[in-house]
Amino acid sequence: MRGLVLLIVVCAAGPAAAHGDASPWTNSAWTYDPWIIAPLYLSAILYLIGTQRLWRRAGLGRGVHYGQACCFWAGWVALALALMSPLHWAGERLFTAHMIEHAVLMVVAAPLIAAARPIGAMLWALPRRLRASVGRLRAQVVRSRTWAGMSHPLGATALHGLAIWAWHMPRLYQTVLDNVIAHRLQHVTFLATALLFWWSLMHARTRARGIAVFCLFVTSLHTGVLGILMTLSRRLWYPEQVAFAAQFGLTPMEDQQLAGLVMGVPMGLIYTGAALAIAARWIAGSSAPHAGARHVVAAH
């Protein structure tokens, strides 16, 4: 508990000195890496301009519903906080914070952005000729067999699960700790596969909702297993990741155990909650035609 309190204090702090070599892009606990800031701001600008253009032509709330806009901006803020706030700074020094950062990427920001379906709005921000070209390319990709396999709930679940397990293998995780490019690639992979995963489940056809529920429970199961293995292990998986745990009031083993709990409990609850929500929609959708049939019989 003392370690968690110290973590909260650190994340709320302003300027802070880095342990070890300081990043050339960071002069405080906030991150100013242009490789993070540029894509975030570009996506925000494209969505804002595209939404305004679409609403001027079609009317407010048309083309992009207010709920979709709220989901996008909520997801964007969560993504920005995960990658730019002191949480990111702490994640480079504390395994628990790093795992919280990953959780925000995969089970907070990703489902919100996937629910918003922002690609259409972003296309409206482009010049007309470029918009048409990108639209044709997008249509070709959507019609391809590769996309059909990747965007199916089973395919997206497999890709997302592969990304999670692969990046948590000790050798590959060590590469992330030693190489900033590998660290960026890890975050891109987590976010991209999570977006694909949540999009495939949320926008699955009614017949595929049962598969979507199955995929969520499978994901909850295998991430829970990974978290349990990490929590119950008697050896340190990534010694360099937990090297600064003492400065946050934790032993290296306690830091690893807390990180495992973050993966196993909060993420598992979100996956399970989403599965129950989709199951409820599936049951309601499948029972609606039968209800209509009963009304027709009663009328006769």
Q: What is the pLDDT of residue 7?
A: 41
The pair of structure tokens assigned to 179 is 């190489």
| CA atoms of 56 and 122, how far apart (whole Å) | 15
Cβ distance 145 to 138 under 8 Å?
A: no
Cβ distance 63 to 120 under 8 Å?
A: yes
CA–CA distance from 266 to each of 180, 197, 272, 293 (Å)? Answer: 27, 18, 10, 42
**pTM for the structure as a whole:** 0.83
Q: What is the pLDDT of residue 251?
A: 94
3-state secondary structure of 93: coil
| CA atoms of 272 and 168, how far apart (whole Å) | 22
What's the pLDDT tens digit per position in 111-163? Answer: 999 999 999 899 988 888 887 788 788 878 777 888 788 888 999 999 999 99
Half-sphere exposure for 39 (CA within 13 Å, toward CB): 12
Q: What is the pLDDT of residue 17?
A: 36
Spell out the per-residue pLDDT of the chain, length 300, in tens.
Answer: 444 334 433 343 433 333 334 443 344 588 888 999 999 999 999 999 999 999 988 888 888 899 999 999 999 999 999 999 999 989 888 999 999 999 999 999 999 999 999 998 999 888 888 877 887 888 787 778 887 888 889 999 999 999 999 999 999 999 999 999 999 999 999 999 999 999 999 887 666 778 889 999 999 999 999 999 999 999 999 999 999 999 889 999 999 999 999 999 999 999 999 999 888 887 876 665 554 444 444 444
| CA atoms of 231 and 106, how far apart (whole Å) | 20
